[in-house]
Chain A
Amino acid sequence: MTVAFWITSVVAVLSGLNVILQRNPIYSALFLVANFFCLAVYYILLNAQFLAAVQIIVYAGAIMVLFLFVLTLLSPGREEPGDDPLSRFRIPAVILAAVIAAVLAVVLAQNPLHGVVNKAGQVVDGSCPIPNANHTGGGLGCVSTIGDQLFSIYLFPFEITSFLLLLAMLGAVVLAKRKFS
């Protein structure tokens, strides 16, 4: 599992770098697909099998196909021009990103989340105890557990989500059908 984690981390960081460094947006989109697959591997390592499947189907399938459709629709082979009016912002942008990374690293180095759960279900060197009762139904990340939670505690947000998707569909149709002079 640790080996899988490190291999996936290298692929994820390299593909993420390529997303923002490739000049052709098509290549950026394809590297983003690789990045999404890495996240699906992370979800499987984190015991979230349902989310891994949803990640591949929704993100790598639906959303990236939409991106590639729009990319090829607009102007195929389009690249960013050589002269760069934003070049004076590049150095501050890199500095800002380094600051964000430093702040996140400091926060992560100070937090107590170094616990690992062993086979007996106890947290080794961690801060969060696990209760040993009320383990009904499936475990963490099972489809049955997700459905159980989604249709009981989170029923109202789930219904709101359907309304949100309906509104997004309506908005896209309205924006696409508008006539331009």
Chain B
Amino acid sequence: MRRFDLGSGGSTALVSTSSFLVVGAILFTLGALGVLIRRDPLVIFMSIEMMLNAVNLTLVALSRHLHSMDGQIFVFFVMTVAAAEVVIGLAIIVSIFRTRDDINVDTVNSMKG
């Protein structure tokens, strides 16, 4: 694994890695809570985005901790996948709304076994 230095200007009084991990954990928990208690699929999607962002923050923090670029490159790919996921998910939500005028996740249950 190739290691990188922090470059100039980024080395004064750094915040510790654990602080960023704690913030990432808090944001991930908030996202999971949003997925559990909300019924609007759009808000559930936003909560999923928040969880993805919390994981991205963790990856970038560990990337700095290990002086490796791998975490940042991975965040780049996660952002791409999140964009594709949002496009497909919102298209599905719009098509559900066009067929039944109601997108409450409790009433959309026709595929339930």
- Residues of A whose CB lies within 8 Å of any CB of B are 1-2, 5, 9, 12-13, 16-17, 19-20, 25, 28-29, 32, 35-36, 39, 42-43, 45-48, 50-51, 54-55, 58-59, 62-63, 66-67, 70-71, 73-74, 80, 85-86, 89-90, 93-94, 96-97, 100-101, 104-105, 108, 111, 113-119, 121, 126, 128, 130-131, 134-135, 138-142, 145-146, 149-150, 154, 157, 161, 164-165, 167-169, 171-172, 175-176, 178, 180
Contact = CB atoms under 8 A, between A and B. Distances in A.
The 5 closest A-B pairs by CB, nearest first: A139-B7, A20-B34, A168-B84, A93-B36, A104-B25
A149 B73 CA distance: 8
A29 B4 CA distance: 36
B43 interface: yes
Contacts of B83: 58, 62-63, 165, 168
B90 A67 contact: yes
A115 to B, nearest CB: 7
Contact of B60 (A36, A42, A89, A149): A42
Given A150-B73, A165-B80, A134 B23 contact: no
19 contacts: A20-B37, A29-B42, A48-B63, A70-B93, A80-B38, A100-B29, A100-B32, A113-B21, A117-B11, A126-B65, A130-B5, A140-B7, A140-B63, A141-B7, A165-B83, A167-B84, A168-B87, A169-B87, A180-B95
A71 to B, nearest CB: 6
Contacts of A154: 73
Given A25-B43, A32-B50, A94-B37, 17 more contacts: A5-B19, A16-B27, A20-B38, A25-B40, A28-B42, A36-B53, A48-B75, A55-B79, A59-B49, A67-B46, A100-B32, A114-B17, A117-B14, A139-B6, A141-B72, A168-B85, A176-B94
B108 interface: no
B18 A63 contact: no
